[in-house]
Structure 1
Amino acid sequence: MNTPAPLRKRFALTATVLAVIALSVGGTISMVGLSANASTAPTAAAAGAPVDVAEVVQRQIIDWQSYSGRIEAVDRVEVRPLVGGTLTAVHFKDGALVKKGDVLFTIDPRPYEAEVARAEAQLAGAEARAGYTASDLARGQRLLGDNAIAKRDFEEKQNASREASANVAAARAALRAARLNLEYTRITAPVSGRISRAEVTVGNVVNPGAANAPLTTLVSVAKVYASFDVDEQSFLKYVNPARAAGTTVPVELGLANEDGYSRKGRVGSVDNRLDTASGTIRVRAIFDNADGQLVPGLYARVRLGGGEPHQAVLIDEKALGTDQDKRFVMVADKDNKANYRQVVVGAGHDGLVVIEKGLQPGERIVVNGLQRIRPGDAITPTVVPMQTQAATAAPAAAAGKA
């Protein structure tokens, strides 16, 4: 069937209009998509790597120098017998705390008791002889006054009296020695402290002398020494001026299982010469040890303070990067971009490190995420406090106990 011409023209016009409308809608959608992409592109480009930043802090500190040392006992005694004999008793438990004067060992006292009795008898005989010769001398003096005795006889009586007096003194000395030997059969603690194990058991015969092995050893525990070697520069800068001025040099100590320095002490003594081979001088610091935790021989981390308190710039050690032989930090500027900054690092202080040059108090530096950025990169900072090792160790310790 044939379609009329006017109707065909109407269908063609309608199709053309629909095509134009479709093209317009498609173009509009495309423009909207391009506009949306264009508007989000700057936002994606502006977003930087997420990092933690903290403000550089300034505090008043004392310069500390760190050293390694060993704990030593103030008093260390090798307990040895002063008389020989059979060991009859051990009066302590291995590793126990003892007080000065406590009985540690007993040696069979019977031979020494007999010796005391013999010395007492000899003293009594000497005193009797001395009494007789004294009265005989008095008679001789009266007879000499009457010229009834020869001069020689009188001198013999006088000499016999003097000899008897000397024998009395010798007998008294022998008795004191016998009593002292009897006292030595009870071996007592010369100082208060912690005793080691008994090296000789009951029934063994012991003898005096340094060539023989000691019965046990005893160390004091109320106070201990920490001995360490100080380099020449630190000695001249801190220790020597304090000694000359009569002031106390502060010392702090930490054990191998501790993060910080839990105990405070003072310099007790300094050696009388510098070791030219090592360039160091031996220093001994003294610490209280009321809890008995400082055992002689333990490794000790010691730090020595010196100089007057002064202001210093400090940062977390995690913020430091290494560039060959240089140390650097990334400083966050006001536009949140990372800037490379070389710094000069000083000594550590309470978990932070001193920055001697390169930073000012209040500047923001990257403390976490340093490996994700490069100089000039944009960053997305999260402000956190400048943490110390002591602050971070406390929650960890609490969690470990829980």
Structure 2
Amino acid sequence: MTLLFRRGLPAIGLALLALPALAAQPPGGGPPPAVGVTAVTPRAVTESNEFIGRIEAINRVDIVSRVTAFLEKREFTEGAEVKQGDLLIRLERGPFEAQLAQASASVAEADAQLQNASVTLNRAQALLNTVAGQRSVVDNALAAQRSAQAQLMSAQAQQRQAQINLDYTEIRAPIDGRIGRAMVTEGNVVSPSSGTLVTIVSQDPMYVLFTVPVRTMLEVRRRYAERGGLEAVTVKVHLPDGTLYSETGKLDFVDINVGQDTDSITLRARMPNPVLQGGLRGLTAGQLVSVVMEAIEPVPMLSVPRAAVITDQRGDFVYVVGAENKAERRAIRMGSESTPQWAVVQEGLREGEQVVVDGLQRVRPGNPVSPAPWQGAGQGGGGAGRPAQGG
């Protein structure tokens, strides 16, 4: 019994020593699985960030009445575009025409009195050098002439005011733009205290306002410092139906205050808003849009095919083929510039490292693989690709 026990020990030891060797072999004891790999390389990527924004008119004018009068006629079509100087509203003119006529009569009367005072002054000055002349008479005539001149100036000012009030009975568009809904109908009495009669908003160009985290703004400014900072950024918008607006805007204002609750700052871009097919425009004041802040020129960023990226509960990762062709799990952080074809890697990989793109289901961390160049690498990364034969 003792002899059998001792003889069994070498056999058991040999079996235990063989276990690591068996574990290192693929199931079935075959060769390492073939996988397609590609190198981590920098690619020209157009950096972009997306935010929620709102369209705002550059100019907005609330039309109010400057005088008190009946609203006689509305000359515009609600919702239409108007040009600067177009007649919008006619107010009752009769009372103001009468005031102007009365003011004109006062001017004529004051002018006549001034002429008479001037004649009297000239006569008194001519008699001053004679026996009949008196200095006091000249002084009185001079005072009367100056008083008449002041009365004429006052009458002329009243005449100008009457003319201004008469002109106010025709309300014209102060800017080019689109006119809104009329707030007062014909036949009503309007005055400066009546409030807004109608609103006009400019149409081309438009502003788009959006808020971004301060950190994002600083990163963009630093990254493009040599290219002009924020001047190297363009702005595009996605309309509410998801379509990309055809025009591109430029940043023209950064707010001077940071939101204390959100640690974000407001940016503003100027967007062209031309008339499109059908006579309409793409942007409307108050419209909610998705704003894409995009670099003017692409910048090199480390990228791998999107097919190489796996996601689980711990996040995104790839398999890197390292020394002795062993696969290593590597956690990565992808950038917002990633596309369905390419993943932009901000952290986790170095340029030149080999990542597995095809055959991921056969890879186990720490096990060897048989790498071969990924055939999809030369095809723009559109598909999963397959490793070259013979690897």
The TM-score bracket by the shorter chain reads 0.7 to 0.9
Cα deviation, residue 94, structure 1: 1.3
Tell me the distance in 2 between the aligned counterparts of 1:147 and 1:55. Answer: 122
Q: Residue 273 of structure 1: SS of its match in structure 2?
A: strand
Supply the distance in 1 between the matched residues of 2:291 and 2:264 (Cα, whole angstroms): 15
> Which residue pairs with 2:289 in the alignment?
300
Kindly indicate whether the alpha-carbon contact (under 8 Å) linking 2:305 and 2:357 is maintained by their aligned counterparts in 1.
Answer: no
Question: 1:249 & 1:324 partners in 2: Cα distance?
Answer: 38
User: How far did residue 318 of structure 1 move?
Assistant: 7.3
Superposition map of 1:106-255 within 5 A: 106-146=90-130, 148-209=132-193, 212-239=194-221, 248-255=231-238
Q: Which blocks of at least 5 consecutive residues in structure 2 are unaligned?
A: 1-26, 276-280, 384-391
Q: Do the aligned partners of 2:46 and 2:294 also contact (CA within 8 Å) in 1? A: yes
Could you tell me whether the CA contact under 8 Å between 1:249 and 1:267 is conserved in 2? no
SS of equivalent to 1:263: coil
Distance 1:349 1:260 in 2: 18
Are 1:253 and 1:264, in contact at CA under 8 Å, matched by a contact in 2?
Answer: yes
| Preserved contact between residue 100 and residue 163 of structure 2 (Cα < 8 Å) | yes
Match of 1:264 in 2: 248
1:59 is the counterpart of 2:49: no
Contact 2:233 2:296 survives alignment (8 Å): no
Q: Is the 8 A contact 1:90 1:202 kept in 2?
A: yes
Matched residue of 1:271: which SS?
strand
Aligned CA distance change for structure 1 residues 315 and 107 (closer, same or farther; 3 Å): farther
**TM-score, structure 1 normalization:** 0.70
1:200 counterpart SS class: coil
Q: CA deviation at 1:165?
A: 1.0
> Paired residue for 2:301, among 306, 309, 312?
312
| Equivalent position SS for 2:256 | coil
Question: In the aligned structure 2, how far is the partner of 1:205 from the partner of 1:243?
Answer: 61
Aligned partner of residue 71 in structure 1, secondary structure: strand
TM-superposition CA deviations, 1:82-104 (whole Å, max 9, x none): 11111111111111011111111
Amino acid at match of 1:253: K
Checking the alignment, whether the CA contact within 8 Å between 2:220 and 2:230 is kept in structure 1 is no
Farther-moved stretch of structure 1 (272-281 vs 212-221) = 272-281
Contact 2:38–2:356 (8 Å) recurs in 1? yes
3-state SS of paired residue (2:311): strand
2:327 aligned with 1:345: no
Matching of residues 270-285 of structure 1 within 5 Å: 270-285=254-269
- Larger radius of gyration between Structure 1 and Structure 2: 1
TM-score for both structures, normalised by structure 2: 0.72
Q: Residues 320 and 78 (structure 1 numbering): CA distance in 2 closer, same or farther, change over 3 Å? A: farther
1:340 Cα deviation from its structure 2 partner: 4.6
Question: How has the CA–CA distance of structure 1 residues 66 and 143 changed in structure 2, closer, same or farther, with 3 Å as cutoff?
Answer: same
Task: Find the partner of 1:87 among 57, 60, 71.
Answer: 71
Could you tell me the percent identity over the aligned residues?
31
Deviations 1:253-277 (A, max 9, x none): 2223236564321122222333333
Matched residue of 1:297: which SS?
coil
The SS at the match of 2:335 is strand
Aligned letter for 2:172?
A: T
Q: 1:238 to 1:138 in 2, by over 3 A?
A: farther
**Superposed displacement of residue 70, structure 1:** 0.7
CA contact (8 A) 2:177 2:203 kept: yes
Partners of 1:157 and 1:164 in 2: how far apart?
11
Deviations 1:234-257 (A, max 9, x none): 344445996996972423122232
Q: Which runs of 5+ in 1 are unaligned?
A: 1-41, 389-402
Contact persistence 1:56–1:365 (CA under 8 A): no
Change over 3 Å in CA distance of 1:167–1:342 after alignment to 2: same
Q: What is residue 381 of structure 2 aligned with on the other side?
A: 386
- The alpha-carbon deviation at position 309 of structure 1 amounts to 4.9
Indicate if the aligned counterparts of 1:102 and 1:188 stay in contact, CA closer than 8 A.
Answer: yes
Give, as a single letter, the amino acid of the residue that structure 2 aligns with 1:289: N
Q: Deviations over 1:155-175 (max 9, x none)?
A: 221111111111111111111
Q: Distance in 2 between matches of 1:348 and 1:129?
A: 84
Change over 3 Å in CA distance of 1:55–1:115 after alignment to 2: farther
Cα distance in 1 for partners of 2:131, 2:46 equals 95
> CA–CA distance in 1 between the matches of 2:314 and 2:320?
20
How many aligned residue pairs are there?
338
